[in-house]
A and B are shown apart, each in its own frame.
Chain A
Amino acid sequence: MSALFNSLSKHLLHHQSWAGYWEPVIQCFKPGWREGYFRAQVKHVQVFAEQNVELVLEPEKAWPIHQAGQHIALTIQTDGRLLTRVFTIASEPHMAKQQGQIRLLIRSQEIGAFTSKLTSLKSGQWLNISEPKGQFVMPNTARSLIMLAGGSGITPFIAMLKSIPADSKKTITLLYYAKPNSHWLKDELEQLKQSLSNFDYHLLERSKDGDATTWLTPNAHKHWLVCGPAALYNQAAALAKQLDTPIDSEHFSAVPAVLATSDKHELTLTHQGKTFTIDNQQTLLTHLQANKQPVTVGCGMGICHQCQCVKKQGIVRDIRTGELSDSSEQLIQLCISQPVSDVELSA
């Protein structure tokens, strides 16, 4: 049915989507309503230690409840602009089921421009969230677990730990790295330790306690879960490979473009019928922005799919995985696609 309406909308009203066509009208009645997004109402905003923000949201009923460890894309409208960032849900699915609420813990140092806007959110205000995404959830394994968190990377673990049944037997150890005196949620971790007999945690500082290798190496027989900055993850991943240890990870910090080749090549980029000469050292998004092309920009790290578009021809490399695309038509995300050949994008 909606396919029919969208097709009618496209041909008769020149709008890609029927709901999108009515969006500004619907917003008059349902503030913050946006096609393709879920609405969520702000219930509580609190700035805690060092300008970090705790945000409690009440998603609309249709929102599919997350699994502990998953993240959402959060979209707010600020000064007329839509901004999207990705955050891990720092609350357990049970809370979403019982109270209809989710909690986000956001660190302002990393993403200042966005979080400074979050602090001015008012209770009762509507914003948009995506469905829960991501595969970083409690692994189905008989092994004991090591959770390695860096900075704000503690959030998925809080959600996971809070959703563990009290009678669980599996041992879990959390290694939590942060700058001196900036460990989050110390009280909650202590409470968890009290209620879960098989859980223990260590608040670590790199300068004092050494790097993660010291702590991980004796635990090669366990299953590792890592969430934190790329440096922390890279170190753990290399060690896991060496020790043949299973590892799952999530890292949100923007990944720098790592090139297989350091030679600079000139390539051609065709976008909406316009042609540009570009090099292979930047992402397509960077090139398009440098050429002042209209692009919808989102998170800039391959998560929110705002900048997604159809590649008609050419090969691109995913800067996160190094994976090369097909040369045929497919959907790509501009912000994480580095050209490897001449590229043509659809209008």
Chain B
Amino acid sequence: MKTTKTVNFEKLAAQLDSVKADVKSKLGEQDAKYIRRVIVCQRVFEWSGRILLMLGFIQPVLWLVGVLSLATAKILDNMEIGHNVMHGQYDWMNDKYINSKSYEWDIACDGASWNRVHNYEHHTYTNIIGKDRDFGYGLLRLSSDFRWRVKNLWQFVTYLLLSVLFQWGVSYHEMAAERVFFGKKKDDRDYKVPHSELKKRFFSKGARQLVKDYLLFPLLAGPLFLWVFTGNLAANLLRNLWTSTIIFCGHFTGEVETFNQQGCENESQGQWYYRQALGSSNIKGGNLFHVMTGHLSYQIEHHLFPDLPAKRYREIAPKVQAIFKEHGIHYNTGGFFRQYFSVVKRIVRYSFP
């Protein structure tokens, strides 16, 4: 962990709080319309995709368009809708279906489980080694805070595999974190959900996903079983690669810092903001790119204000950047390829002692 320099934490907190308050006061019709529109797009992409997959026998290009369409739907559901709604960004709408309590997404990970680990642990204890179990997902060594092991030598391959199976990685993450299946069980850990419940959720949600994409929809297609089966497989793969890449670029670029537990005890709001600022990185891009990343291309803003509707990150980013500049805090941003290369470099760098 780097020591904090001359940052005036009180001022930083006050400035960032006022950015948040300003957005909160503006939330309204526009934001509600936006999320509904994204949901409409998701429905349209999903069903055109599913239908096109069945038309591949007429012209294979239709199948390809179907795959892209379904993958787009899955990405929208995962990122701009699921992730953001489950963060409670739209709870203020009071809508029966668009709120963090009831939303469930189209990935293998059970929404309620994700909410607990991700919303609570990851967003509270961002990048505190030993507390935020997101760091490296326990699979990869991404900082010198961890002892080098032989398995780190081939961790780039592990990373690629993780990306391919990302939805299962996210789903398994919580089990791994709680050491449900194997590993040392810590006596002092406060198990909020019994292991049996976690296992049940893991298997039931996972099974439903498998049955849906690889059995039911293909069976509905009758003789075109294989067209639909491979189409779903491809769409899921594209979604997994995309989400994994975006998430790695938001958390594991070269300059992202880690923190130790002692340094973060009794931290003030300003220090908390500061940690969020140094623990994440942004990706530059166009509007469509931001939508497809669920605005996690504004990972810094997301970590500062996880429950503000994500589309608002665009308008506050310049303000946040200016505030960082004033306090001499590094605002980690760059183009997609630059950030991705930085991630790859980090994974490779820590493969070695």
Contact = CB atoms under 8 A, between A and B. Distances in A.
Contact of B94 (A13, A21, A81): A81
Interface residues of B, number: 38
A272 B101 CA distance: 8
Interface string B6-49: 00000000000000000000011111110011011001100000
A330 interface: no
A273 B94 CA distance: 22
Given A14-B104, A16-B102, A24 B96 contact: no
B112 A22 contact: no
A191 B28 CA distance: 45
Contacts of A297: 94
Q: Which range holds the interface residue count of chain A? A: 20 to 34
Nearest to A274: B192
Contact of B28 (A12, A80, A275, A294): A80
B31 A23 contact: no
A294 B111 CA distance: 14
Given A24-B43, A273-B112, A273-B193, A79 B29 contact: yes
Contacts of B37: 24
A14 B43 CA distance: 13
Interface string A61-90: 000000000000000010111110000000
A296 B98 CA distance: 10
A4 interface: no
Contacts of B216: 12
B96 A20 contact: yes
B30 A80 contact: yes
Given A11-B212, A14-B106, A24-B39, A295 B101 contact: yes
A27 B39 CA distance: 11
A264 B184 CA distance: 42
Contact of A296 (B27, B31, B88, B99): B99
B93 A82 contact: yes
A295 B101 CA distance: 7
Given A36-B96, A273-B112, A273-B193, A14 B28 contact: no
A35 B98 CA distance: 13
B116 interface: yes
A294 B95 contact: no
A90 B28 CA distance: 32
A15 B100 CA distance: 13
Contacts of A15: 97, 104
Contact of A14 (B30, B105, B115): B105
Interface in A158-175: none
Interface string A259-288: 000000000000011110000000000000
Given A20-B97, A80-B33, A81-B93, A11 B39 contact: no
B40 A28 contact: yes
A108 B113 CA distance: 44
A13 B29 CA distance: 27
Interface string B213-225: 0001000000000
Interface in A135-193: none
A80 B31 contact: yes
B91 interface: yes
A80 B115 CA distance: 24
A116 to B, nearest CB: 15
B94 to A, nearest CB: 4
Given A272-B112, A294-B88, A297-B94, A80 B193 contact: no
B208 interface: yes
B36 to A, nearest CB: 4
A295 B92 CA distance: 10
B43 A80 contact: no
A25 B99 contact: no
Given A14-B106, A15-B104, A80-B28, A273 B36 contact: no
Contact of A80 (B29, B112, B116): B29
A294 B105 contact: no
Nearest to A12: B212
B338 to A, nearest CB: 36
A53 B245 CA distance: 55
Contact of A82 (B30, B94, B100): B94
A231 interface: no
Counting chain B CB atoms within 10 Å of each CB, the highest count among A17, A24, A272, A296 belongs to A24
A247 to B, nearest CB: 36
A297 B99 CA distance: 12
Interface string B32-70: 110011011001100000000000000000000000000
A21 to B, nearest CB: 8
B32 A296 contact: no
A243 interface: no
Nearest to B44: A25
Nearest to B92: A81
A273 B44 CA distance: 34
B309 to A, nearest CB: 10
A258 interface: no
A12 B211 CA distance: 9
Interface string A15-57: 1110011111101100000011000000000000000000000
Interface of B: 27-33, 36-37, 39-40, 43-44, 88, 91-97, 99-102, 104-106, 111-112, 115-116, 192-193, 197, 208, 212, 216
Given A35-B96, A274-B192, A347-B112, 16 more contacts: A12-B216, A15-B97, A16-B102, A24-B37, A25-B43, A28-B40, A80-B28, A80-B31, A80-B32, A81-B93, A81-B94, A272-B112, A294-B88, A295-B101, A296-B94, A296-B96
8 contacts: A14-B111, A16-B97, A22-B43, A272-B115, A273-B116, A273-B192, A296-B96, A347-B112
